[in-house]
Chain A
Amino acid sequence: MTGEARREAMLAKLAELDAEHAKAAAGGGEKYAARHRGRGKLLPRERIELLVDEGSAFLELSPLAGWGSDFTVGASVVCGIGVVEGVECVITANDPTVKGGASNPWTLRKLFRASQIAEENGLPTISLVESGGADLPTQKEIFIPGGRLFRDLTRASARRQPTIALVFGNSTAGGAYVPGLSDYTVMVREQAKVFLAGPPLVKMATGEESDDETLGGAEMHARTSGLADYLAEDEHDAIRIGRRIVARLNRRKARPEPAGYAEPVQPPETLLDLIPTDLKEPFDPRDVIVRIVDGVSAGNEVPFDEFKPLYGPSLVTGWARIHGRPIGILANAQGVLFSEEAQKAAQFIQLANQSDTPLLFLHNTTGYMVGAEYEQGGIIKHGAAMINAVSNSTVPHLSVLIGASYGAGNYGMNGRAYDPRFLFTWPNAKSAVMGPQQLAGVLSIVSRAAAESRGLPFDEEADAGMRSMVESMVEEQSLPFVLSGMLYDDGIIDPRDTRTVLGICLSVIDSAPYEGTTRYGVFRM
């Protein structure tokens, strides 16, 4: 495949990605957006644009949450990391154009993930609240796990991680505890509505006649109940106050801003010419690395210092910097992980922990090698050592799926279950227990063997149908949109943005202190 063909294929995938992002951005659609605006209100992304510092970056998280489900793509909430008054914050904003901003099971998972990011990186949380509560038809999936939202808020506060709620509209019943449990609460005059029960329910419960303003208006909460710390004149004013609150939080990052650095030796733009969209076609991860890491400058004479280059060549390991911050990189080179690669990875991860250096995993693996020779050579115990090191490492981890991420290779390379601080996917990536053809083939062999053992004739036609069905099902399930929809990543990114995304993530990570470990599980020798 030529560079031009690769670029075209990748651009086609990026166009699909843009189309899916556009669906998320459209929220409840033109009609509901117009109605919302008609009330003089801002859309959630407009609120965020005003909240973050002018010209600063905003890294939206899990934008495709709920993709492939019955719910609107994006799960009726916008989450991300933005800079407010020079402080990196986790920002969440309900999208009231989607069923009044009601939470569905995906909304919960997306908010949980945002809360986890805030916790791991020590970031303040700003909630832009306007939600009609829970999506009642799915209440059984929301009500009980949903309690964690409020638990997380107060635990964040207990960790001295500030929580700020800007209430733009409905925040009733359970939702009332978001302002209730936040450190700072701002309510918009004549818009915010915060109560446990509205007039009809109160009437049912006690017979008392009341109205919205009396039960939960912004003015009442600011002057009478004290639930609102600030009364905002309008939405702009609420955002202004929110920014002033952050300005006075006195946040200091755990690590200083790094000094100067150079842009990559090779322009990130050329990544598109390099990356085959057909996963069978191998590519050299060093070509990716030089397009992501800092170029040559004083103090960084070599962009990438490879570690153990002659041993376990199917996994590239080495040291570099991204936006001036040191990083250790593990990148699959030939897809398969052998014993040597696993041992090299375990050692490299320990070295990174010795020097408090964050790690970046670039996935393009089909898994650990199989076969008698490799089993006898101890591939399991070596793979286990790698997983042991990854699991117990305490330096921050970043993962990017730049190609395949199959089988236990996904685990060893720090897949989602291993809680990397951030995990992003390229549009060409795929992830599953194994490749679709292999999986279908395995099923076919097993059923053929079963038929044979029972002395039954094997239905070749049915087998071919089954194989094609399984193959297409697994193929579909291993696609990035599906994985992203299930929150198995933090988003699908344009390969050319990888350096920027990692730069933001590493900056965010520096908000809280971290230290490498010396404690691991027992390494089987």
Chain B
Amino acid sequence: MTITRLLVANRGEIARRVFRTCRTLGIRTVAVHSDADAAAPFAADADLAVLLPGDTPAQTYLDADRVLAAAVRSGADAIHPGYGFLSENAEFARAVIKNGLTWIGPTPQAMDAMATKVEAKRLMADAGVPVLAELDPAAITEADLPVLVKASSGGGGRGMRVVHAMADLAEAVRLASNEAASAFGDPTVFCEPYVERGRHVEVQILGDAHGAVAVLGDRDCSLQRRHQKVIEEAPAPGIADAVRAALHEAARTAGEAIGYVGAGTVEFLLDGDRFFFLEMNTRLQVEHPVTECVTGLDLVALQIAVAEGEALADLLPAGPPEPRGHAVEVRLYAEDPAEGYQPQSGTLTAFDVPGVTARFDNPASYGIRLDSGVEAGTEIGTFYDAMAAKVIAWGPTREQALRRLAGALERTIVHGVLTNRDLLVNLLRDPVFTAGKAHTTYLDGADLAVLTRNGYDEQGLRLAGLAAAVADAEARRHRSPVQRGIPAAWRNVVTQPQRTVFDRLTVEWYGGRDGYTSADGEIRVVEVRDDAVVLEHDGVRRPFTVRLHGDRCEVDSVLGHLPLVRQPRFTDPAAQVAAGSLLAPMPGSVVAVHAQAGDTVTAGQVVLVLEAMKMQHNVTAPADGVVAAIEVQVGRQVSAGDVLARVEEDA
């Protein structure tokens, strides 16, 4: 069963990652994509592409029948599910196999075995893998505290509650049960000991169809935000050899217990030298590149090989390689960490990671690897996960890898959409993280205002503002129909500085014969050429890069990135937003309208409901009054700032 044409039932960077290996192996590739992804880079990366009409995951990447139909129509003989979407759907795997296609993944039986947490834990405990004891909520005593109340079905942190005092237990169980019932339709909850400062350590395994399971090293993914991994590394730092060996052995045992075939990850909670089985992911992980870097392996190639029936003994005759050096991966999300990680949408007007030595592949020597689903010009929507790219640094030591990654990220050009880049740079230089002491809840208590700061303090802002104002003035001069050769803002009688107003600061400057200076004369512009502006302040020259996209001025320098938005000089009074307008807080679609024009509403009353990123947002009346107009209907897609309705306040 040699695979000749492989369909990736996924999108974004993981689709591109799999395509890359297919190209290396000589396998033809098929992409499936939604309407929203029609112009996404991954759709163009494959030899063939099949449209799954629609935008939502349910209509597209989660629709097993349509994905399968696409495989049949495109002549694919194998399906790689990537991660997320249908990757852990045993029913889908069965359907793939039933249709005579090769499923790049474990057997449906193995997937079933690991599908529910409670069942998986029981199975592992039986096989001798350490698990956290399951406690009956009714039998908990003071000595068991703290405990975690968990929903039996479901995941993603919903229905979870930590209890530190006996007095809170009953209420926590009641609330968790209610939440579980409404979220998953199953009110069953259980308790387990709560490990307060645990680390998330996982082990990569690979099984073949002949009963062999190899351990390909471990990873630390402790740095998480809201149960989503942010930084991952291999090998896990600061673990005693004996503990590491025990972890690897436990993972192998887990894999062997269910006859695992393909790449999988066994996740553990590490508490000092003790560890407990958390769950097993029966698929390729997002963070697999760090393992690839330090082992030199191509995990996707190995997945394909074992799916084709090859034996581990032939694939890795010398056994799994020892890790060489250290690799760290960060996930670049289009989100605003300072605003509760709110997902961002828009066009990525520029994207460039400097010093990249390999894409979707291991660097030949220590260097930077980029696995990106986006490129300059890519539209980032809100239908899918906000992760835009993964940047991986591989270095001889952990310290060198961290420093290199922080440096590359700091110099990364990413424009048009807000990202967590500054947070990542700060975390990579964070003393707790660099000491290898970050635990899974480290970010929960962190001051994000501090952690998302870049170099643009008050003075940095002044410098960047002047650079942006000057670049803007030069651009205007060059596109003026007349007097293009006359120095910008030249005056024979100088009476006042020029004023350039941005969203977050106003820059006052002078132009003229001697070039540009700040209004106070402290900052001098040494050079302006295309998008490069060199400033001099206090004897220090500072280069800035300013790229202009309409009103947006994207400033980059060693201080980081600063997006500035030019404010219009004039506002047409007729175009001003009427008072009482309800504006869309984020892009999304209108799912309900609860009022109509003429209705009397009270402050806080829900006027309409938006859905964005699978979350519903109530848009409420700002004050008591009468609805003057509803500007949208159910189903309408809106952008952030669109007027949804107007409420006339009671006098």
Contact = CB atoms under 8 A, between A and B. Distances in A.
Interface stretch (B36-44, B271-279, B485-493, B589-597): B485-493
Interface residues of A, number: 42
Interface string B58-83: 00000000000000000000000000
Interface stretch (B192-200, B337-345, B452-460, B565-573): B565-573
Given A60-B491, A494-B513, A497-B513, A83 B483 contact: yes
Interface string A469-491: 00000000000000000000001
B476 A53 contact: yes
B489 A501 contact: no
Contacts of B476: 53-56
Contact of A496 (B482, B513, B570): B513
B498 interface: yes
A63 B495 CA distance: 12
B549 interface: no
Interface in B450-500: 472-474, 476-477, 480-496, 498, 500
Interface string A437-468: 00000000000000000000000000000000
A54 B573 contact: no
B93 to A, nearest CB: 61
Contacts of B569: 50, 54, 240
Contacts of B573: 233, 237
Contacts of B255: none
A240 B488 CA distance: 21
A296 interface: no
Interface in B534-585: 569-573
Contacts of B492: 59-60, 63, 491, 493-494, 497, 501
B596 to A, nearest CB: 32
Nearest to A59: B492
B511 interface: yes
B489 A56 contact: yes
A30 interface: no
Interface in A48-62: 49-50, 53-60
Contact of B482 (A55, A243, A253, A268): A253
B493 A21 contact: yes
Nearest to A263: B485
A446 B489 CA distance: 54
Nearest to A322: B485
Nearest to B486: A57
A505 to B, nearest CB: 11
Contact of A57 (B481, B490, B570, B572): B490
Interface string A195-232: 00000000000000000000000000000000000000
Given A45-B496, A54-B498, A504 B486 contact: yes
* Chain B, interface SS category: loop
Contacts of A323: 485-486
B570 A261 contact: no
A83 B495 contact: no
Contacts of A500: 486-487, 490, 513
A55 B488 contact: yes
Contacts of B487: 57, 500
A63 B493 contact: yes
A58 B485 contact: no
A88 interface: yes
Interface in B358-414: none
Contacts of B570: 236-237, 239-240, 243
A503 B484 CA distance: 10
A240 B483 contact: no
Contacts of A86: 480-482
A55 B489 contact: yes
A25 interface: yes
Nearest to A46: B496
Most buried by A among B472, B473, B485, B492: B492
A507 B511 CA distance: 20
A55 B485 CA distance: 12
A257 B482 CA distance: 7
A160 B60 CA distance: 63
B493 A55 contact: no
B510 to A, nearest CB: 11
Contacts of A45: 495-496
Contact of B480 (A83, A237, A493, A494): A83
A324 interface: yes
Contacts of A233: 573
Contacts of B480: 53, 56, 83, 86
12 contacts: A55-B474, A55-B488, A83-B480, A86-B480, A88-B482, A237-B572, A240-B572, A261-B485, A323-B485, A324-B485, A503-B485, A504-B486
Given A55-B474, A83-B482, A497-B513, 16 more contacts: A25-B493, A54-B500, A55-B473, A56-B477, A56-B486, A58-B490, A59-B492, A63-B492, A88-B482, A88-B483, A257-B484, A497-B492, A500-B487, A503-B485, A507-B482, A507-B483
Which 8 pairs from chain A and chain B are nearest by CB? A240-B570, A55-B473, A57-B490, A86-B481, A55-B488, A25-B495, A60-B493, A57-B486
